[in-house]
């Protein structure tokens, strides 16, 4: 299974903000319950990400919410492409300790967010379908 097979779900959770926008603007995007990660872009390309934890840490230090979001974003971003195998993306997420990874196009523009739980659910559904097909074949349905 490839990332592209879950692209519609991944696109629903995509929140994008310009690097010059304020931290407060990023926090407002995260007020939506389905948004846990905001992709920060400059000239349409991914330059970083901001999580709810980043915002909370920023607030707890008493820092200005009107400052640019690129001052708190994480710059070392793990991304994937829609043509990547979902199992490979999950492995990379596990190795790096990520729960969410932006999907980018050829020009590093964001097209969605892969959530680990969604990816696992897709892979589980695929295995269940394969299991049912094999069970039907073994029980004789495959010989008709």
**At a CB cut-off of 8 Å and minimum separation 6, what does 9 contact?**
112, 118
pLDDT digits (tens, 9 = 90+) for 80-138: 999 999 999 999 999 999 999 999 999 999 999 999 998 988 888 776 656 666 666 66
Q: How confident is the model at residue 73 (pLDDT cuts 50, 70, 90)?
A: very high
H-assigned helices in 1-144: 7-12, 23-29, 52-60, 86-96, 116-138
pLDDT reading at 144 higher than 80:
no
Nearest partner of 38 among 71, 28, 60, 83, judged by Cα: 28
Residue the block writes with tokens 């696992």: 120
For the cut 70, the answer to whether the pLDDT of residue 39 exceeds it is: yes
Count of structural domains within the chain: 1
Mean local confidence (pLDDT), 52-74: 93
Share of the chain above pLDDT 90, in %: 70
Q: Are 11 and 115 in contact (CB under 8 A)?
A: no
Domain that residue 79 falls in: 3-143
Does pLDDT of 3 surpass 90?
yes
- The whole-number pLDDT of residue 80 equals 97
**What angle do helix axes 86-96 and 116-138 make, rounded to 10 degrees?**
140
Half-sphere exposure of 128 (CA within 13 A, CB side): 6
What CATH code is carried by the domain that includes residue 45? 3.10.580.10
Among 29, 26, 15, CA closest to 55: 26
pLDDT in tens, 4-29: 988 888 999 999 999 999 999 999 99
**What is the arithmetic mean of pLDDT over 29-38?**
92
């Amino acid at each position: 299974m490839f990332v592209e097979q879950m692209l519609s779900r991944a696109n629903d959770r995509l929140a994008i903000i310009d690097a010059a926008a304020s931290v407060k603007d990023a926090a407002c995007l995260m007020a939506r319950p389905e948004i846990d990660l905001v992709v920060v872009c400059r000239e349409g390309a991914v330059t970083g990400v901001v999580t709810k934890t980043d915002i909370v840490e920023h607030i707890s230090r008493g820092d200005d919410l009107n400052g640019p979001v690129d001052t708190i974003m994480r710059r070392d971003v793990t991304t994937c492409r829609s043509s990547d195998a979902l199992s490979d993306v999950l492995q990379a997420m596990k190795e790096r300790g990520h729960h969410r990874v932006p999907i980018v196009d050829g020009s590093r523009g964001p097209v969605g967010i892969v959530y680990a739980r969604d990816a696992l659910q897709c892979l589980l559904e695929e295995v269940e379908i394969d299991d049912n097909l094999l069970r039907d074949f073994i029980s004789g349905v495959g010989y008709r």
